[in-house]
Each structure stands twice: as C-alpha cells, then as structure tokens.
Amino acid sequence: MKHRPYLSTTAALLDSTDWSRTPIGPMSQWPMSLRSYVSMVMAMPTPAIIFWGPDLTQIYNDGYAQIMGPRHPRYFGAPYRECWPDTYPLIFPWMRRVLDHAEVIEVERELIPVTRLGFEEDAYFTFTFSPLRDDAGRIAGILQPVFEVTDGVLAERRANVLRSLSALPPGGEGLWDSAMQVLAEDRGDITDGAGRGGRARVSQGIWLRQSYCCLNPSRRLIFSLLSKVSNSPRGFLRGTPGK
C-alpha cells in the first residue's frame, strides 16, 4: 500500500516507517481490512486515529498529528500506552468496552490537556470510539475520529462570566468583592499564576481584558485593575504568560 509522498506528512510517514519493528508487523502482512481503514483515515479531512492490535498501535492522519503535538512523529506506529500515559487511566477503560463488547463510546466536550506549541493548554474534544474488525470478523482495533470544540466551550464559558459581571449592581464598595467572586468561580480562565507542574499556564485568557469595553464605566475600572494584575510576574489571568 503506497501513498503519494506529498499527499500528506503522515501518508509519507506511513510509507517510510519500518513496520516490521512495530507490534503490528510489516505492512505486507497487514490484513486487507487494516489497509482499508488506514487509507480511509489518511483521506479524512478531520483528525482521526486507528488503534490496532493487542498493543493498540497508533496510525493517524495529519489532523490528529496536530493534537499529538510534540509526540509526533515519535509515536506514529507506537502503542497507545507509551504515547499517552497521562490519559491512559481515563481512556483505556472506554477502549476495553469497545474491544470486549463492541460498544460505540461517544464522548462530548471532554477536557484533555495537550501540549502543542511548547506549553500545556486545556483543550476540549468530542469524539467516538468505534470497533474495527479484521478479515475474520474479529474486533481487532478502534477508530477514533476527533472534533476539537475548544473555541466553542471557551466562548460559552466566558460569555457566562461576562454576563455575570454585567449583572452586578453599579458602584458601591461591594462591587470589587462581587466581581472577584464571579471570577473566583471561573477557575477555567483565572489562575494564581501556578499551573500544572508549578509554572504559569498560557491560554487565550486575554479575552477578559479585551471584553471590558462592553461594560459600563464602573465595571471597566475592575477590568483595568485586573489588566494591571494580569501583567504582573504571577500572570493572574490565563493568557498572560508568567515571567
């Protein structure tokens, strides 16, 4: 099974990988079903991955390579557990249900921290796990098409925060405390500067400062103060790298 080398980076990687050194063996010995599944995944415009065999060997397309981040291309053709030890306790039980009972697992808006641009960030994905059968009809693998929904989840969450801030009564000594209470409840976008691993996290949290113009003057003061705090070395707002 040959792919045009310039069709995609993962298709080229598929051809250049020495599969005899992987758990699923040389490509010449792959079942026709696996060849068909791989061709399908490589042609998909959205992220998708196949887990095949007892070791759940990974074969994925260009879209999924973006999700892999720094793990790509090292773990192309590697067992799932070696690549994702941090998510293994959460994901593997779902995989077992697919492999053992032919279930189709649907997961919506799941939070999965990923490292794609040199730092860890929260990302949200909707995906399914579906059984794949070999030439004999036995379940031998899993297909996982993936749709990232991070932008939608963050937009909804942040809109809720802005609505809560806009609903605060104007003026008064309690305005600051009330605003801080709203922000304290939104731990997804506000941080104390120490993220996973004890370092500042980077996300798109700059939305909070950019959105203050929608509020009345008394509330803009809060955002102006938060802006100054967010530029401090502790990076109060996610989206402002700690220095």
Domain count, the chain: 2
> Does 95 share its domain with 78?
yes
Q: What is the pLDDT of residue 241?
A: 37
Last residue of a domain, one of 99, 131, 148: 148
Same domain, 45 and 73: yes
Which residues of the chain carry a pLDDT beneath 70?
1-7, 116, 171-173, 186-243
Q: What percent of the chain has pLDDT over 70?
A: 71
Whole-number pLDDT of residue 179: 75
Q: What is the pLDDT of residue 238?
A: 42
Contacts 24+ apart (CB under 8 A), 194-201: 195/120, 196/113, 196/120, 197/120, 199/242, 200/234, 200/235, 200/240, 200/241, 200/242, 201/119, 201/120, 201/121, 201/238
Report if residue 239 sits inside a domain.
Answer: no
Report the pLDDT value the prediction gives residue 174, as an integer from 0 to 100. 73
What pLDDT shows up at residue 133? Answer: 98
pLDDT of the residue at 207: 47
Q: What domain range is 144 assigned to?
A: 9-148
Residue-level pLDDT at 163: 81
